[in-house]
Amino acid sequence: MNYFVLAYRNLKKKGIRSYLTLLGICIGILAIVSLITLGNGLKTAVSSQFGVSSTELISVQASGGNFGPPGTDTVNPLTSYDLEEIKKLSSVKEAVERIIVSGKLEFNNKVIFGYAMNIPDGDDRDFVYNQIEAKTTTGRLLKDGDSGKVFLGYNFYVDKVGIGKPILPGNTVKIQDKSFEVVGILEKKGSFIMDNMAFMNEKDLQSLFNHGDEFNLIAVLPTDKENMERAKEDIEKLLRRIRNVKIGSEDFTVSTPEASLAQVNSILNAIQIFVILVASISIFIGAIGIINTMTTSVLERKKEIGIMKAIGATNNQIFMQFFVESGILGLIGGGIGIFLGVLIGYFGVVGINDFIGGDILPKINFFLIFFSLLGSFLIGAIAGILPAMKAAKQNPVEALRG
């Protein structure tokens, strides 16, 4: 028989009211555990999305200049002139336009909305195929001169796009009300974007969507992979000149994959900081709840404290009893929080996988669990210090009176 047995016996007797005060700690720990589990999954997921679109490419995008009130910005689009000039740079090995448009696709009497991407002709075709590591799981890729033909992302093949029926090579689909023959299906990419994309030759895309001489994005392969930053600076300098804008008021952005990844990560980090802040407040409130419960408990058990002292309990022993009990209270709250948090994190990652078609395995982090348990015990114990001191200082005669 020790403090833990005594604490256990007393906790067993406690009413639901005492356990309700654990909600704070429970929610706080739940938030932290689920967030860290989810966050790690999300980071892996995001990184893998970037991985697919290649870590070697610099992307150039048009963006609104920062003039005038919001909403009045006109985006000055990228054109073939920009592309040709970029191609001429010595630090650039290759550059290709990428056009992604949204539209509707009809099959099996169902209509879905999604994205279509251009495949350019000639050498650029090989470059694009290389960069997106285009391999078909069935059928073939597009060739120069193919017209009225498309190949599709993997999700169309396994019907994860919500059309009710797998699409196979040889099927005909309607895109923007025009019939296209499906020639192939890409291998699974594990990327939400790529697996849900329809790919068509640039002429077809042009005739369907009539986007003119405007690109969403120019993908640039630098000569020297190690010198991505130099290529980036060269492109910026060039575009400032030919688009006639000053430093600081660019109407385009040039981003390296590291920078994009860093940006996404910083957003994720910001979210994490926010949730951890909320979790901390929740845990703080939980700790106050425990202080409250333990203080009440000291008052309710005044007589018991008196008896304990009469039969030889020292102040220190009384203190330890309440201290340990309070810690276990925290541990119970934290334990429930960890259990639910791991559950949410686990199924959250499974959910993300399902959504983006990724292959991330949800990881149960045992270090996280161990330190969360330790943490919640300590929070409880620390919250119990004052009430335990109060209990220890009871005068035995007064306490015996109850």
Partner 1 sequence: MKKQEDSEKIIIHLNNVEKHYFMGDNVVKAVDGISIDIKRGDFVAVMGPSGSGKSTAMNLIGSLDMPTRGHIFLDKEDISLLDESELAQVRGKNIGFIFQQFNLISTLTVRENVILPMTLQGIPEYEREEKADKILNRLDLRDREDHYPNQISGGQQQRVAIARALANDPEVILADEPTGNLDTKTGLKVMDFLTDLNKEGRTIVFVTHSPELAKKYAHTIYWLKDGKIEKITKERKKE
**Contact with partner 1 (CB under 8 A): which of 133, 303, 355, 370?**
303
Report the C-alpha gap between 127 and 134 in whole angstroms: 10
**Should residue 309 be labelled a site residue for partner 1 when binding is judged by CB under 8 A?**
yes
Q: Which CB sits closer to partner 1, 222 or 306?
A: 306
Q: Which CB sits closer to partner 1, 237 or 303?
A: 303
For 121, other C-beta atoms within 10 Å of its C-beta total: 14
**Should residue 174 be labelled a site residue for partner 1 when binding is judged by CB under 8 A?**
no
**Should residue 10 be labelled a site residue for partner 1 when binding is judged by CB under 8 A?**
yes
According to DSSP, residue 89 is labeled -
Report the C-alpha gap between 174 and 170 in whole angstroms: 13
Report the C-alpha gap between 120 and 118 in whole angstroms: 6
Asked if 27 and 337 touch (Cβ cutoff 8 Å), the reply is yes
**Should residue 315 be labelled a site residue for partner 1 when binding is judged by CB under 8 A?**
yes
Q: Which CB sits closer to partner 1, 257 or 396?
A: 396
Q: Which helix (H) or strand (E) holds 19?
A: helix 16-20
Q: Give the range of 9-17, 247-255, 289-297, 358-366 binding partner 1 by CB under 8 A.
A: 9-17
Q: Give the range of 41-49, 112-120, 141-149, 315-323 binding partner 1 by CB under 8 A.
A: 315-323
Asked if 228 and 187 touch (Cβ cutoff 8 Å), the reply is no
CB of 318 to partner 1, least distance (A): 9
CB of 399 to partner 1, least distance (A): 10
What is the Cα 385 distance to its own chain's centre? Answer: 39
**Contact with partner 1 (CB under 8 A): which of 147, 224, 316, 359?**
316
Asked if 388 and 219 touch (Cβ cutoff 8 Å), the reply is no
In terms of Cβ atoms closer than 10 Å to its own Cβ (0-12, 13-18, 19+), residue 265 is middle
Q: Which CB sits closer to partner 1, 1 or 16?
A: 1
Report the C-alpha gap between 70 and 285 in whole angstroms: 41
Contacting partner 1 within 358-397 (CB under 8 A): 395-397
Report the C-alpha gap between 266 and 43 in whole angstroms: 11
Report the C-alpha gap between 167 and 323 in whole angstroms: 65
337-347 burial string, b = 16+ CB within 10 Å, else e? bbebbbebbbe
Q: Which CB sits closer to partner 1, 25 or 324?
A: 324
In terms of Cβ atoms closer than 10 Å to its own Cβ (0-12, 13-18, 19+), residue 107 is buried
The residue among 256, 257, 264 whose CA lies nearest residue 39 is: 264
**Should residue 317 be labelled a site residue for partner 1 when binding is judged by CB under 8 A?**
yes
Three-class secondary structure of residue 108 per DSSP: coil
Helix axes 315-356, 257-300, angle to 10 degrees: 150
CB of 48 to partner 1, least distance (A): 54
CB of 393 to partner 1, least distance (A): 9
**Contact with partner 1 (CB under 8 A): which of 307, 340, 343, 373?**
307
Show Cβ contacts of residue 16 under 8 Å, excluding neighbours closer than 6 positions.
none
Contacting partner 1 within 53-92 (CB under 8 A): none
**Contact with partner 1 (CB under 8 A): which of 17, 311, 366, 367?**
311
**Should residue 149 be labelled a site residue for partner 1 when binding is judged by CB under 8 A?**
no
**Should residue 1 be labelled a site residue for partner 1 when binding is judged by CB under 8 A?**
yes
Q: Give the range of 2-10, 56-64, 149-157, 199-207 binding partner 1 by CB under 8 A.
A: 2-10
**Contact with partner 1 (CB under 8 A): which of 69, 248, 312, 367?**
312
Q: Give the range of 216-224, 313-321, 372-380, 383-391 binding partner 1 by CB under 8 A.
A: 313-321
**Should residue 304 be labelled a site residue for partner 1 when binding is judged by CB under 8 A?**
yes
**Should residue 400 be labelled a site residue for partner 1 when binding is judged by CB under 8 A?**
yes
**What number of CA atoms fall less than 13 Å from residue 386's CA on the CB side?**
11
Report the C-alpha gap between 308 and 391 in whole angstroms: 11
CB of 330 to partner 1, least distance (A): 20
CB of 325 to partner 1, least distance (A): 11
Using CB under 8 A as the binding criterion, the count of chain residues that bind partner 1 stands at 26
Q: Which CB sits closer to partner 1, 386 or 400?
A: 400
Task: Return residues touching partner 1 (CB under 8 A).
Answer: 1-2, 5-6, 9-10, 12-13, 303-304, 306-317, 395-397, 400
